[in-house]
Amino acid sequence: MFHKEGHLIIIISFITVSFINIISFMLLGNVLLAKIIGGVTIIILVLILQFFRNPKRKTQVNDSLIISPVDGKVVVVENVYEKEYFKDNRIQISIFMSPLNVHVTRYAMSGIIKFSKYHPGKYLVAWHPKSSELNERTTVVIENENFGTILYRQIAGAIAKRIVNYAKVDSRVVQGEDAGFIKFGSRVDLFLPLDSKIKVKINQMVVGGIDTIAES
């Protein structure tokens, strides 16, 4: 199954690949160059299909847990000063997504959306220390009674050119549900209360909607 944000791109890619292959075989015939062109374009199409895949995940909703919002590798676990919304110290957990990962963003916990803002910006590589502050990004804050208030940030990378964010202020969201999509590249940062019990470590691979990031 493919994410709805990829439907138009998939259709355009399929038509383009088909057109290129038809033209190349008409002009070149059944020669090696035409076969190479066909092979390369089909590989590109397969990569696009893989990027927009949207596997169904069965999340066990638990208001005492923070689950991973995305698939990827944990690259940051540290105490930082969060200056956009909280303006105090938080535990930052950053998850890097390679082009091969599923790029669906899922809500890390259930609750009420208290803040949601889009920031235009640069396209530094996603692991750059300043990407969280300088790159195109969205900032979303969720609050529930058990865990309190958390912030997550979708961050575009060097390749990513569009972030899709479904979070609307004052809406109620459910843990594990679709929160958005980052097209081609990127990472997600989580900012959690200092008393959170962190359950992941650096370089750990996590699965969005399934793996536990922290406990209250």
The 10s digit of each residue's pLDDT in 48-89 is 887 788 888 999 999 999 999 999 999 999 999 999 999 999
CATH no. for residue 148?
2.70.70
Question: What is the per-residue pLDDT for 71?
Answer: 95
| CB atoms closer than 10 angstroms to residue 177 | 14
User: What tokens appear for 139 in the block?
Assistant: 């900032």
pLDDT at 197: 97
Determine, yes or no, domain membership for 59.
no
165 and 182 in contact (C-beta within 8 Å)?
A: no
Report the pLDDT averaged over residues 110-114: 97
Three-class DSSP category at 49: helix
Q: What is the DSSP letter of 152?
A: E
On whether residue 21 sits in a domain, the answer given is yes
- Number of domains forming the structure of the chain: 2
Buried b / exposed e across 73-99, counting CB within 10 Å, b at 16+?
bbbbeeeeebebbeeeebbbbbbbbee
- Domain containing 37 equals 4-51
Residues 86 and 168 reside in one and the same domain: yes
Residue 44 sits in the same domain as residue 143? no
Same domain, 34 and 79: no
Give residue 99's pLDDT. 78
Name the active-site residue from 94, 110, 131, 186. Answer: 186
71 C-beta neighbours (distance < 10 Å), count: 23
Tell whether pTM > 0.85. no
One domain for residues 117 and 209: yes
Catalytic-residue membership of 186: yes
What distances in angstroms separate CA 117 from CA 41, 154, 175, 190, one per listed residue? 37, 11, 20, 15
Q: Is 153 left (phi over 0), alpha (psi -120 to 50) or beta?
A: beta
Local confidence band at 98 (pLDDT 50, 70, 90 cut-offs): confident
| pLDDT digits 0-9 by tens, 120-156 | 876 565 555 555 666 788 999 999 988 899 999 998 8
pLDDT in tens, 144-187: 988 899 999 998 866 655 788 999 999 999 999 999 988 766 88
Shared domain check, 200 and 97: yes
